[in-house]
Amino acid sequence: MTLAFLTPAVAEDAPSPQSPFAGVAERSGARMGHRDGWRVPLEFGTAADEQLAVREFVGFADVSPLPVTEIQGTGVAKGLTFGTADRRDSTWWCPITPTRVLVVGNHEPGLDVTTQFCALRIRGPLARPLMARFCALDLRPSVAPPTSLRPGSVARTPGLVIVEESDQLLVLVGAAVAEYVWDVVSDAADRLGGGPIGADAIIAEGRAPREAVADA
């Protein structure tokens, strides 16, 4: 006996999944395309402008195709430290409770909850000041160094923040509030001289850009 019947059938000609941010990003001027099988915003303006935002101010990119797996059970958080995301290659193991762990960045045995979330990667010298404008979490460098894991209120909605690097944050919130969160982050970034950028402008350390195909 197999459990294959639990996996929903998907037609070969079914449309690609779309990022929860796709609609609002497109209205914001994004050039849309496909990455990792998802339709996502690839570029906003020129590559030079995007890189300038990341180097001098702050930029935020839609990285919702990042796989998210939920693992539950007694002892699943054993060896992990609460308040810290354990980095394993390009994957973050995030202990939420003693019996619940979220794995971000790779498919693992467990429950695939990718579509329940949307994700933004925020990078630049003003990444933390940007978050301070709408986030109740204390993300000061002295309190939240790299690998810090902070669940809590993000734009007045439940969220999760991973400090990937000193100037790079990964933010997960519920997919249902994607457009609201995008507008909040975009408004805050605009006031700091930054804005939305394509995923290739924020490549996490040690990760190579993946092939992207622009919409015709």
pLDDT tens-place string over residues 41-74: 999 988 888 988 899 999 999 999 999 999 999 9
What average pLDDT is seen over the chain? 87
Question: pLDDT class for 10, splitting at 50, 70, 90?
Answer: very low
Q: What is the dihedral of CA 18, 19, 23, 29, to 10 degrees?
A: -110
β-strands 59-62, 195-196 pairing: parallel
pLDDT higher than threshold 70 for residue 148: yes
What are the DSSP E strand ranges found in 124-216? 149-154, 157-165, 168-174, 195-196, 212-214
Average pLDDT of the segment spanning 96-122: 95
DSSP letter assigned to residue 56: H
| pTM assigned to the model | 0.86
Are the C-beta atoms of 85 and 55 separated by less than 8 Å?
no
Return the domain boundaries, the chain. 17-23+45-196
pLDDT higher than threshold 90 for residue 128: yes
pLDDT higher than threshold 70 for residue 14: no
> How many CB atoms sit inside 10 A of residue 16's CB?
11
Of the candidate ranges 113-122, 159-168, 206-215, the one whose mean pLDDT is the lowest: 206-215
pLDDT higher than threshold 90 for residue 171: yes
- Express as a percent the part of the chain with pLDDT over 70: 86
Q: Could you tell me which of 175, 174, 145 has the C-alpha nearest to residue 162?
A: 145
Reported CATH class of domain 17-23+45-196: alpha beta
pLDDT higher than threshold 70 for residue 11: no
